[in-house]
């Protein structure tokens, strides 16, 4: 039998990265549930003679709060990616993304043509990197269309402040109906991304046996000593 190499603990993700990851996760879950309720009511309040059956308003409140939390988390993640010292291993992944050799080795690994995991300079392999770039592009579109929908309901305060700024974007997208459609399409793309992300995280953790999924909780992964 092949002798197992000694594994070492390697600190991969900072506490800021891990917190932003889980904040985004719970915000997205709330946004999906509340967003589907707003577009297609799937819950009815208890029958009452009192004028207090404001379930749509309550779900909308949840959606708006989760949306602004998501905006803050995305801005924070973009900031630490660009400037945080601990996020250097994320930025280095750009070099792996631009390397044809790493692409070839990674595809071989995913197709079970080899058990040897590619030697990466950064924390993300090329497929992960392009998937995360697409995630943030979709997240940006969700935020942009969400803010346009928000400003048409709340005309004062922040909604009023962004109205004149985002109104041309709304027109460019083809009107409010199109904005809403783009918002829904982007959320469906995000749901597909989440399913693929979870599958690939489990795949890499099981096949690589390096605690890859643990890293987003504890911060540590356990690669082979000579890796």
pLDDT for res 1:
43
Can you give the pTM of this predicted structure? 0.83
Tell me the pLDDT tens digit for each residue of 184-211.
Answer: 999 999 999 999 888 888 887 777 676 6
Indicate if the pLDDT at residue 227 is higher than 60: no
CATH code for position 53: 1.20.950.20
Residue at 190 is within a domain: yes
Residue 133 inside a domain? The answer is yes
| CA-closest candidate to residue 128, choices 114, 143, 107 | 107
Beta pairing, strands 10-11 & 220-221: antiparallel
Total count of domains within the chain: 1
Q: What are phi and psi of 224, to 5 degrees?
A: -65, 150
Phi, psi of 43 (to 5 degrees): -140, 140
pLDDT tens track for 59-115:
999 999 999 999 999 999 999 888 888 888 888 888 888 888 889 988 888 888 887
135 occurs within a structural domain: yes
Residue 116, domain member (yes or no)? no
Q: What's the pLDDT score for residue 175?
A: 92
pLDDT tens profile 163-180: 999 999 999 999 999 999
């Amino acid at each position: 039998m092949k002798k197992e190499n000694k594994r070492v603990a390697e600190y991969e993700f900072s506490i800021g990265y891990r917190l932003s990851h889980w904040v985004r996760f719970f915000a997205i879950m709330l946004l999906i549930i509340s967003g589907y309720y707003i577009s297609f009511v799937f819950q009815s309040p208890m029958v009452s003679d009192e004028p207090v059956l404001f379930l749509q308003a309550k779900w909308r409140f949840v959606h708006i709060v989760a949306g602004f939390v998501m905006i803050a988390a995305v801005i924070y993640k973009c900031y630490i990616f660009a400037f945080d010292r601990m996020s250097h291993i994320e930025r280095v992944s750009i070099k792996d993304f631009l390397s044809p050799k790493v692409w070839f080795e990674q595809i071989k690994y995913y197709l079970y043509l080899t058990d040897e995991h590619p030697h990466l300079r950064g924390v993300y392999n090329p497929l992960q990197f392009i998937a995360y770039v697409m995630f943030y592009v979709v997240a940006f579109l969700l935020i942009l269309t969400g803010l346009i929908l928000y400003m048409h309901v709340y005309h004062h305060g922040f909604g009023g402040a962004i109205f004149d700024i985002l109104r041309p974007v709304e027109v460019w997208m083809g009107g409010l109906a199109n904005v809403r459609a783009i918002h829904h399409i982007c959320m469906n793309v995000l749901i597909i991304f989440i399913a693929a992300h979870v599958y690939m995280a489990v795949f890499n953790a099981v096949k690589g046996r390096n605690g890859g999924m643990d890293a987003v909780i504890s911060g540590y992964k356990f690669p082979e000593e000579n890796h």
